[in-house]
A and B are shown apart, each in its own frame.
Chain A
Amino acid sequence: MSLIEITDVRKSFGANEVLKGIDLNVEPGEVIAIIGKSGSGKSTLLRCINGLETINSGSIQVAGAQLAPDELHLKALRLKVGMIFQSFNLFPHKTAGQNVMLSQMVVKKTPKPEAEAMARKMLERVGLAHKFDAYPDELSGGQQQRVAIARALAMQPMALLCDEVTSALDPELVQEVLAVVKELAAEGMTLLMVTHEMRFARDVCSRVVFMHMGRVHEIGPPAEVFGAPKTPELRQFLGAQH
């Protein structure tokens, strides 16, 4: 059984159908890059997987947890799959350490000392152990994003959704975040990432999904997708990247 099973998912905003029947299965340990033009539905697909958007039809399952609109099902699903956002979304009124501790204590009812130990461990993992007591506005964008990654990891998810995690960063800060993501991939974390970093997708991902007009237009290992694109749309998209 696949870790993430997406079956015939459709999603409309009003009359505009942005996902027109998506099928995608993700195996444990896979690293998947979702590429495509803006408006192709790639971010929407990611947001559907953990229930930030409701779907109109089809089904999504993560490790046996079924996507359903009620709070109980959503919580079960979200404990299995974490998410990192383009704009970091750290809690500005809490320190880096508290950001990582909060959901452990509130959602999982982890006692404070254990949550703190976990937070220190996760911040260490993203290279920010020394920033435990810093507030988000005292951190650079790259550091904030790494704290956000630590925050998601502290919940011990089976998969991570990364929504353009480097798009809001200054160019010189992109690499430090990508390095952390790359390390996660190497450690066997299942990753689904919407990204514009083609080189990164080529180097790190096991499969690349090219989305076009709300459909999975092409899918395959990076060598195939980047080296021998089959459709004119993908060729045009890759051509426009340079």
Chain B
Amino acid sequence: MIEFSNWDILRNLLLAARWTVVLSLVSFVGGGIVGLGLLFMRISRSRWPRLFAGAYVELFQGTPLLMQLFLAFFGLALFGINVPAWLAAGVALILWTAAFLAEIWRGCVESIAKGQWEASASLGMGRMQQMRYVVLPQAMKIAIPPTVGFSVQVVKGTSLTSIIGFVELSKAGTIVTNATFLPFTVYGYVALIYFVLCFPLSKSSQYLERKLNVAHRNH
């Protein structure tokens, strides 16, 4: 029987962890862009975009991420569209992240005092100008801590893509376990790597929350 050193295990896990990082970044950036679009629809004054964005958010928040991954991977295959695992994983995570970010940001936009809208409106600004120059700059400041905090969920969420066969950190853990028969050691390392990825994020979220809240400074 072949002996595996700790370094053998760790090296293989770290190589796979790159894909966890890439997938997290893609989901977060893509989800942010789609989420911003959803946000504008959600707070639009016309009814249909508002309804659509509301239904979208409910749908993605109300179903497990795992089901969304299955649907993206197997569902499209039913229609003869062969989706590679990485594409299904990326798309599903982007759509999922977008739903949550849109909802977080909507709360931030709505927390801006009504007087800010009224003052900017009475100065003649249009809706988009109000958003761009008055509301979003203030809302973004409020949004930073919860957004960074949510990125932790995205990193952990990528582990589910192992189920549809995308080889990232969790899937690599399974593969390495099957080769070494050392599940405790291997999954211990896997957990540790996730922690090393997530801990700085959640810490910086706490730090930003404190820093941006100091004496409710608004600038």
Question: Is A34 part of the binding interface, using a Cβ–Cβ cutoff of 8 Å?
Answer: no
Question: Is B217 part of the binding interface, using a Cβ–Cβ cutoff of 8 Å?
Answer: yes
- Give chain A's interface residues, CB within 8 Å of chain B: 50-52, 71, 74-75, 78-79, 82-83, 85, 87, 89-95, 102-103, 106-108, 135-137, 148, 151-152, 155
- Closest beta carbon of chain A to B40's beta carbon, Å: 16
In the bound complex, do residue A107 and residue B125 qualify as a contact, i.e. CB atoms below 8 Å apart? yes
In angstroms, Cα B216 to Cα A155, docked, is 30
In the bound complex, do residue B219 and residue A103 qualify as a contact, i.e. CB atoms below 8 Å apart? no
From B118, B126, B127, B133, contact of A102 by CB (8 A) = B133
Task: Chain B residues near A152: list those with CB within 8 A.
Answer: 122-123
> A85 with B115: in contact, given A78-B124, A93-B138, A103-B120 (CB under 8 Å)?
yes
In the bound complex, do residue B124 and residue A107 qualify as a contact, i.e. CB atoms below 8 Å apart? yes
In the bound complex, do residue B138 and residue A92 qualify as a contact, i.e. CB atoms below 8 Å apart? yes
> A93 with B219: in contact, given A71-B126, A71-B127 (CB under 8 Å)?
yes
Question: Is B141 part of the binding interface, using a Cβ–Cβ cutoff of 8 Å?
Answer: yes
Task: Chain A residues near B46: list those with CB within 8 A.
Answer: none
Task: Chain B residues near A89: list those with CB within 8 A.
Answer: 113, 115-116, 118-119
In the bound complex, do residue A103 and residue B124 qualify as a contact, i.e. CB atoms below 8 Å apart? yes
From B118, B126, B217, B219, contact of A94 by CB (8 A) = B219
Task: Chain A residues near B129: list those with CB within 8 A.
Answer: 106-107
In the bound complex, do residue A78 and residue B123 qualify as a contact, i.e. CB atoms below 8 Å apart? yes
Question: Is B107 part of the binding interface, using a Cβ–Cβ cutoff of 8 Å?
Answer: no
In angstroms, Cα B126 to Cα A79, docked, is 12
The residue on A at minimum CB distance from B130 is A106
> A52 with B115: in contact, given A93-B219, A102-B133, A106-B129 (CB under 8 Å)?
no
B interface size (C-beta, 8 A): 23
In the bound complex, do residue A75 and residue B116 qualify as a contact, i.e. CB atoms below 8 Å apart? no
- Closest beta carbon of chain A to B19's beta carbon, Å: 39
> A52 with B133: in contact, given A75-B126, A92-B219 (CB under 8 Å)?
no
Task: Chain A residues near B219: list those with CB within 8 A.
Answer: 92-95, 135, 137
- Give chain B's interface residues, CB within 8 Å of chain A: 113, 115-116, 118-127, 129, 133-134, 137-138, 141, 216-219
In the bound complex, do residue B122 and residue A83 qualify as a contact, i.e. CB atoms below 8 Å apart? yes
Q: List 30 A-B contacts (CB under 8 A).
A: A50-B122, A75-B124, A78-B122, A78-B123, A82-B123, A83-B119, A85-B115, A87-B115, A89-B113, A89-B119, A91-B119, A92-B138, A93-B138, A93-B218, A94-B219, A95-B219, A103-B124, A103-B125, A106-B125, A106-B129, A107-B123, A107-B125, A135-B218, A136-B218, A137-B216, A137-B217, A137-B218, A152-B123, A155-B123, A155-B124
Task: Chain A residues near B121: list those with CB within 8 A.
Answer: 51-52, 74, 78
- Closest beta carbon of chain A to B189's beta carbon, Å: 45
- Closest beta carbon of chain B to A190's beta carbon, Å: 16
Task: Chain A residues near B141: list those with CB within 8 A.
Answer: 93
Task: Chain A residues near B118: list those with CB within 8 A.
Answer: 52, 83, 85, 89
Task: Chain B residues near A148: list those with CB within 8 A.
Answer: 119
In the bound complex, do residue B115 and residue A103 qualify as a contact, i.e. CB atoms below 8 Å apart? no
Task: Chain A residues near B124: list those with CB within 8 A.
Answer: 75, 78-79, 103, 107-108, 155
